[in-house]
Amino acid sequence: MKFRYTILYVEDVARTLAFYERAFGLETGFLHESGDYGELVTGRTKLAFSSRALMTQLGKAPARADPQAPVFEIALETDDVAGTLARARAAGAGLVQDVRAEAWGQTTAYVSDPDGYLVEICSPVAGTASPD
């Protein structure tokens, strides 16, 4: 079994991909010609997006994300949390939590993307090595 991708339901897939490119420097790996599905280049496990319209056509009823009552978060690791936060804010991300040093040896900040998904911007945990 492999964890292959996570799909977030959004209003406009192309707009969301463009936001993640501007805000975090990620690259679009795939955008279906219909515009209803796309993926970012994020290593072995893809961060993907599907339009809410497509999911509705498929008989699903996707809920909207709420950064004040999240059910999960996307975590993006960087050595420059403050710089990445500034870049994300300039790209239109909403500030949820400013840069903060955590007791467990990590620096974190939180933003919301244009669809309301919570994104953690974090440093590696001090004293640990990233597996990639």
pLDDT tens across 14-71, in order? 999 999 999 999 999 999 999 999 999 999 999 999 999 999 999 999 999 999 999 9
The contacts found for 56-62 with CB under 8 angstroms, 24 or more apart, are: 62/9
The answer to whether the beta carbons of residues 10 and 56 sit under 8 Å apart is no
CA pair distance 105, 62, nearest whole angstrom:
36
CATH code of domain 74-122 = 3.30.720.110
CA 71 to each of CA 24, 31, 89, 119: distance values in angstroms, whole numbers, following the listed order: 22, 26, 22, 12
pLDDT interval class at 132 (50, 70, 90): low
Specify the amino acid at residue 75. A
Kindly list the domain boundaries of the chain, sorted by start residue. 5-57, 74-122
Assigned token pair, 31 = 């955008």
> Does the reported pTM lie above 0.85?
yes
Please give the CATH topology (third level) of the domain spanning 5-57: 3.30.720
Percentage of the residues of the chain whose pLDDT score is greater than 90:
92
Asked if the domains 5-57 and 74-122 are classified in one and the same CATH topology, the answer is yes
